[in-house]
Each structure stands twice: as C-alpha cells, then as structure tokens.
Amino acid sequence: MLRFWTLEAGPWTLNMNAAVAPARRPIQTPPIPDSPFPYHPGSLLSVDDLALDEVSRILERATALDREDPLQRARILAKRRVALLFYESSTRTRTSFELAAKSLGADTTLISSLSSSIEKGESLKDTGLTIKALGAETIILRHNSSGAPWLLEEATRLPILNAGDGMHEHPTQALLDLRTILAHFDPQSRSCHPELSKNRHPERSRSAAQNGEVEGSAFPIVHVTADTLAGVTVTIVGDIQHSRVARSNMRLLPRLGGRVVLCGPPQLLPEIATQTGPGVSIERDFEAALRQSTVVMMLRIQAERLAGLQLDLDEYQAGYQLTGERLREFAPRALVLHPGPIIRGLELTAGVADGPQSAIVEQVRHGVAIRMAVVERALGAIPQKDRL
C-alpha cells in the first residue's frame, strides 16, 4: 500500500510587518543575506559569520564552561537578561539555550508565538522592540522565515542568535555537530570511533579535570584549521531541500577540510545543492554513500515544509532508511548523527537510533556546552582583549 505525505501551504514572504508569515515551498536555497548594516559582534546569524579562529574560540569556551564549577559558572552572566523568541516549536534548541543561559546565571524569558501578542498580529519588529524595551540584552530567535534574524537585528540592534530560520540556517546545530564529530575523531587514522563517546563523556572529563588527571590524547579538539577534517566524509541523508541543519553543516564542514556528500531522492535533494560551495557533492545511491562515510547524518522529512510535494514513503524507506543491516554491511565504523527530532521507523530504525554507532543523545548534550559559549559571546562576557 502506498503512503503519501501531502501538505499544502500558501504564499511565503519575509515581512517585518506580518505576524507569522505563511509558507510556500521555495524554488532554491535562499541566498546569503547581503546585510546593509553592521552586525552586532555578539550576533550569530550564520556559520559564514565565523572565521575559523572564532569557531575555535567557541569550541574552547564550550569545553571550559562545561568543566567549570557550576557555582563559579553561574556568576559569569549573573542577572543578565536573555530572551528566547520562538515562532516554531522546539525541544532541543529551546531547552538547551535556556539551560545554557541559566547555568551562566542569566535570567531568561520565553516568548512563544502561540502564547503571546504575536497571535494577535504583532509583527516581528514590534515584538523585538518590545522585548528590548523590557530589558532583554540578547534575543535567541527561531522563525519560520529564512532571513528573519537579520531583520530582527536591524530593528533592535541587539545581539541576535539564530536558533533556526526557515529553511536557511541553524548555526549552533552545526557547531554542536562539529563538537560531536571532534569528540569521536582520531587525527591519526582520520576516522571517527563511535565507542569513544564513553571515554570522552563530558561528565568524565569534568571529574578527571577536578581530580587533576591529564586528559586523553585528543578530546576535546578545540582548535580547528582548514585541514582539521581532511579525509573525513560526512554524508547527510534525506530531506536536504528543507533542512537548515544541512545548509549550516554544508557551509561549515568543508571549511575545515571535510567532504560533505548529500544523499536523497531528487524531490528532496535538487542538483543545485552542489552549488553551495566546494567540498559538497551528491551521491543518490545510499549504499554507495554509506561506503564512503566517516559520519552519517540522518535527517527527518520536514512534513511541515513539503507544501504539496508528494512522497511515496515506502519507496523512500526502501531507498534511504538507515537500518541495522545497511549500517553493518556498508558503514560498520561510521558515527551516526541526527539533529532530531527523530522519527523512529522512518528515516532510521529504532535499533540504529539506540545502537552503539549512534551519538544522537550525545549531540544534545554538546548543544548545552556550545550554547553556553555562544550566549556568553553574545553578551560580551569574554573580556574584549580576548575577543577575536
């Protein structure tokens, strides 16, 4: 029996004066916004904003903050004000940003489109100005429209952290994915070791540091260069077209020397995707892609963004579901990632999600550390002389 997902949506515009912009399926990847105004130095709108030295700085701070004594850590942003403005649902990003800000001592407030005056028609601009007037010093924004964080920054001139904008970017997800990969990466063999997660658990690292133990050889790698990931192939599988996670990773990982292979059916992976930049290619045959993979990043089909696209789910699963058999046969050493939310039984089986090659839960944990570093950076808590 054929199963289809079909969703309809209306015209899509990015309109500062519209409360919640309706969505339609875009024809191609949105261009990188050409900003007419200087960004706030604490903003993180796109991975393109980060020089590699600054990526290193964030990784280094994430590790330092992760290991910091919680009472000391809570003084870093004591009583600073952080607002989370979410126009789309979220579990991982929202909670980890909130826990990250709170663990640095900040006061946080959540404004959700479903329980605020956004529902009554208030625009993004006016919502941002209101939050600023209430004393917020930074805004963490998730929005269904690509480019919304740039507009919010222009309106408020506050440091804005992009927590996912439409089908465009999710920069902190790419940073936490990178941290997860580096936690498993062996620079000598240029490969990832799924089993390293047990030895490189942040809790273990913290207690090791507190006990004065010398850390293991490579965790965590906090200094990255243009060849840190040379020889590493990260295969991103599934709904690339609608994925901001894929876009941020496709933009970041090749700058560290990694190769990104995109894999999926043409409806979810248009040929134009290879034009993202050097180091990005397409392999339609999943098993051929798996054979090359150091890391396999599975993606959810973004049902909420399909907008009329019909997809035969049985055919999709037959071609692209990551099963235990496929993993054992074609990528027995690869690290399995997924940004979540995962749909067990669709893009991957429960056995793979819970299996020894999976670092999916670990990714979530790295998210808190990365977001502590990014919130600290947004509020300029790092002494100016140390800023890149």
Stretch that binds ligand CP, among 269-277, 339-347, 352-360, 372-380 (CB under 6 A): 339-347
Q: In sequence order, what DSSP letters do the residues of 99-142 get, joined into one string? A: HHHHHTT-EEEEEETTSSGGGGT--HHHHHHHHHHTT-SEEEEE
Residue from 339, 260, 334, 329 nearest 299 by CA: 339
Please tell me whether residue 162 binds ligand CP under the rule CB under 6 A. Answer: no
Contact pattern from residue 291 through residue 330 relative to ligand CP, giving x for each residue in contact according to CB under 6 A and a dash for the rest: ----------------------------------------
CA angle 174, 176, 178 (to 5 degrees): 70
Q: Least distance from C-beta 384 to ligand CP, angstroms?
A: 31
Considering the complex, what minimum distance in angstroms separates the CB of residue 356 from ligand CP? 22
Minimum Å gap between C-beta 163 and ligand CP is 7
Taking the alpha carbons of 276, 282, 286, 288 in that order, is the dihedral positive or negative? negative
Examine residue 146 and tell whether it contacts ligand CP (CB under 6 A): no
DSSP letter for 335, please.
E
Q: Which of 92, 157, 193, 201 binds ligand CP (CB under 6 A)?
A: 92
Q: Which stretch binds ligand CP (CB under 6 A): 6-14, 273-281, 327-335, 337-345?
A: 337-345
Tokens of 124: 């993004």
CB of 179 to ligand CP, least distance (A): 14
CA proximity to 219, closest of 257, 255, 192, 252: 192
Interacting residue with ligand CP among 278, 308, 332, 341 (CB under 6 A):
341
Residue 90 as a binder of ligand CP (CB under 6 A): the answer is yes
Residue range at the interface with ligand CP (CB under 6 A); choices 247-255, 297-305, 319-327, 335-343: 335-343
In the beta sheet, which residues pair with residue 309? none
Size of the site for ligand CP (CB under 6 A): 11
Closest to ligand CP by CB, 128 vs 340, is 340
The DSSP letter of residue 325 is H
Nearest CA to 243 among 260, 257, 258, 218? 260
Applying CB under 6 A, which part among 44-52, 77-85, 86-94, 266-274 lies near ligand CP? 86-94
Helix (H) / strand (E) containing 192: strand 191-192
Place of tokens 């050409």: 34
Candidate list 29, 93, 233, 248; residue touching ligand CP; CB under 6 A:
93
Non-local (6+) Cβ contacts of 340 within 8 A are 91, 92, 300, 360, 363, 364
Residue 266 or 341 with smaller CB distance to ligand CP: 341
Task: Determine if 238 is a binding residue for ligand CP (CB under 6 A).
Answer: no
Q: Kindly give, in sequence order, each residue whose CB lies less than 8 Å from that of residue 70, ignoring residues fewer than 6 positions away.
A: 103
Residue with Cβ nearer ligand CP (155 or 174) = 174
Least distance to ligand CP, CB of residue 88, Å: 7
Which C-beta is closer to ligand CP: that of 72 or that of 91? 91
Our CB check for ligand CP shows the closer of 283 and 347 to be 347
Report the Cα 19 to chain-centroid distance in Å.
25
Nearer to ligand CP, 155 or 176 (CB): 176
Candidate residues 113, 339, 369, 378; the one interacting with ligand CP per rule CB under 6 A = 339
Name the CA dihedral angle for 33, 34, 35, 36, rounded to a multiple of 10 degrees. -150
The alpha-carbon radius of gyration of the chain (Å, integer) is 20
Give me the amino acid identity at 170: H
**Cα separation of 192 and 337, whole Å?**
12
Closer residue to ligand CP (CB): 119 or 304: 304
For residues 262 and 183, the answer to whether their CB atoms sit within 8 Å is: no
Under rule CB under 6 A, residue 340 binds ligand CP: yes
Residues lying near ligand CP in the complex (CB under 6 A): 90-94, 164, 170, 173, 339-341
